[in-house]
Structure 1
Amino acid sequence: MNAPSPDNEPDRSLTMYFPHFRRRLPQALMPLPMLLLMLLMLLLVLPASGLGSVARAAVPHESAQPAYAEEQTILQSEKDVPEPGFGSAKSGRNHFDRHFIVPPGFMPEQDVILQRGGNTWRNLRNGPIASIAGTILLVVPLLIFGFYRAVGPAAESGGGGGQIQRFTSWDRIVHWATAITFIILAVSGVIILFGKNIILPWLGHSAFYWVALLSKYLHNFVGPLFIVCSVLMFFTFLNRNIFRRWDWQWIKKGGGMIKHEHVPAGFFNAGEKIWFWGGVTLLGLLMSVTGLMLNFPYFKSIGSNFGLTRYLLQMADYLHIIGGTLYIAAAMGHIYIGTWGTPGAYHAMRYGTVDEEWAHSHHELWYNELRDRHAGAPSHEPLPPGAPSHSRS
């Protein structure tokens, strides 16, 4: 077979990247030299610079920055078409040639081949959002370490009494299941966000491929399990995290951590309640909703299809990264206070019991409640689990 003549074969250096030109440009233009095609492209792209006011007025992606020349061309062809607003279900334009491509799936934007906010999302996610998140995750542990070195742990107490039951087996199972799934999500999420810039250069492409792949699947599959654990934790500890009037005194004194004093507290002190409502509940809800949006962008239901636009998924990704960063930072503080910051606290969550002296010092109101509850028990009957062995003033 003879090689095609240059006069009959279009220049593929352009058409291979912009196949729609091959179909849409008149056949008479195809044999033109490459220079003329480049000039024609330039004439099509330059007027797009005048779309600044239109782009800024667009509601979903008013500051979108086009990434490629083809995108510039499409923007030019749509310069007089209003951008969909917040009330519209669409966040992009339809660019699939339905005669050649049949898009699969049930997403409402399954035939959108180009979405204006894509490059804007990429620049924000990998730029300022990732930089701020990374800074927070580096600064917070340094601040905790500095606080530990400057102030030290809470005053130690314990060893002078019997053991009191503080957490049941169910309490500890729910807590550790939530904690383990959270750590898996935190580590895999950090790898997904920063892996290409931090781990890839020294680990290499082959090894990092498996690390990234494992992180992705762990994050996707452990996420729903973490939601279930968080819901169980919420209802398990809800009645013990209701704020009381004495919690304000604990807050005003900062829990006595700086002056090493024991501020009276109930079963949970005000700091633990703030973590419960701000971290486990509020941030947990934010991470759950945005995580489900990103994990299940579309699904088929009976009788109708429901899906998420790219714009909503981009907003969910922003919130997921911000919420995840704050959640991890707050968890660092929680882990510190529950281990090195408060000697004896880790023993309670691991074994379920605490020393009587420790309970009286750190949670005096709860201790007194147990004492009063069992004060009238007959002397010949053994005290129930968790009852103090003797009274205190």
Structure 2
Amino acid sequence: MKKIILVLIPLLVLTGLYAVEFDISGQNRARAAIYNNAAEVDGGHIDNRFNIGFDSQFHQNLSFRVAAEIGDIIWGNGGGAIGTDVAFDIKELNFNYNIEGNDANIIVGQQYWMDKMGLVMDDTFSGIMLQKQFGDAIDAEFAWMKVKEGPRNLKDDHDVFMAHAKMDMEMPIGMYLFFGNYEDVDASNLTFMPYLSMEMGPAGFDAIAFIDMQMQNDDTEMGFGGAIKAKMDLDMLELGADLLLATENGLSTVSPWYQNGLYIYGIGKYHDGLNLYWNTPYEGNADMFMSAVGSLRAPVSEKIALFGAFGFLTDTGIEMNAGMEYELIPDLLNMAAYGAYGIHDDDTNNYILGTSMNIEF
């Protein structure tokens, strides 16, 4: 903890001395779960994590951001055991320069970015991002991501170049373009990912498709697929659907975090570390892959809501989950309790019972 304070205090002093504006934001999350594993052996754990970000406006055209993460701290293990140190990481460290008169910003350093559904990327990266507005309707992003450096005198780097354009209109549409170059294995990929969003009264949906060319030496493989997230708000009931499809070879990713709403066979809202069978199954897959999930949420009062989901993964299994959300302090402190049960194709039965408390500020 002393090391954490020694790092944070100079950052706070520097940003406070020179900043015109100064903002703090963050999250403090604690969660507990009991479950069994793929061999049906019972277990469980408790962990917590703290994220905090400092944003400083030094000049109307220059801002600075630093964000730190403490955790995940598993109680009783390293950092969570008596007398042990807590893991501390700087996740973001960048400056954002506004190119005056050009409707453009350039961000340099460690920064956070995600694509629309987190299929390829939902994480921080080291690199450079250029954000540019063309007229009133088109927003564009161009980025170079340094994924791996390795020994600095060897040609074993991994770089990803990204371009993204979005048209703001009644039905927003956009396109991602990724080019990844893996020098250590003489491989590269070229990915096209168009998407659209639509709102029709109480209903809405987001759709994304991908075409992925994977080149290594003299071989070229192709992957195709897409995802749809649909919702319908009926006042007393909210319905949702999540569908993800990928042909053989699937999609090249960087650091994905696609949430399908399941906990055993995917990534759910209240826990991302319990899944037993979700290891980015749409990347490098040998066969056709599909994840299909239906969900519902029913507000009981202003503070309480019930939720549930049912879904399956091809050649894997099915899952049912349900839970309750409770807003303890509006827009600040929330908690949830949930349970999930999964039946694997090999007749393995898995369960999860968990709870989560989350503070956002």
TM-score of the superposed pair, with normalisation by structure 1 = 0.19
Larger CA Rg, structure 1 vs 2: 1
Greater share of helix residues, 1 or 2?
1
Question: Could you say which structure has the greater relative contact order, defined with CA pairs below 8 angstroms and 6 or more residues apart?
Answer: 1
Greater share of strand residues, 1 or 2?
2
